[in-house]
Amino acid sequence: MTRWIRPEVYPLLAAMTFVTSMCAFQLSRNIFMNPDVRVNKEHRTMAVLENHDEGHKYAEHGLRRFLRTRPPEVMPAVNSFFSGTK
C-alpha cells in the first residue's frame, strides 16, 4: 500500500473523506427527515402536505437551538485577548 499512496497524499485523503462524509450525512438527512421529500406513495399522492409542525421540527434542529444561545464568535478567547476587554 505504501507504494501506491505517498505520505503527501494523506492530508488530501483526510479532507476528501471528511467532505464526502458530510455530503452523505446531509443527503441522508434530507431524504429521511425533510418534510418536503416524498419517498413513499401515500405522501406523493397528496397535492399539499399539511405538516407545519414537522417542518418546524426539521428547521429548528438541536444544533441550531444550541448555536442560538451562543455568541456569534468563531474563537471567543482569541477575540477577547486581542480586543483588550476583560
Element (H, E) at 7: none
Supply the pTM of this predicted model. Answer: 0.53
Q: What is the DSSP string of 23-85?
A: HHHHHHHHHHH-TT---SHHHHS-SS---HHHHHHHHS-HHHHHHHTS-S-S-HHHHHHHH--
Whose cell is 413513499? That residue is 40
Helix (H, G, I), strand (E, B) or coil at 3: coil
- The confidence score (pLDDT) of residue 61 equals 83
- The confidence score (pLDDT) of residue 85 equals 59
- The confidence score (pLDDT) of residue 40 equals 74
Taking only the tens of pLDDT, the chain with its 86 residues reads 557 778 888 999 999 999 999 999 999 988 888 877 777 777 667 666 677 787 788 788 888 889 888 888 888 888 888 887 55
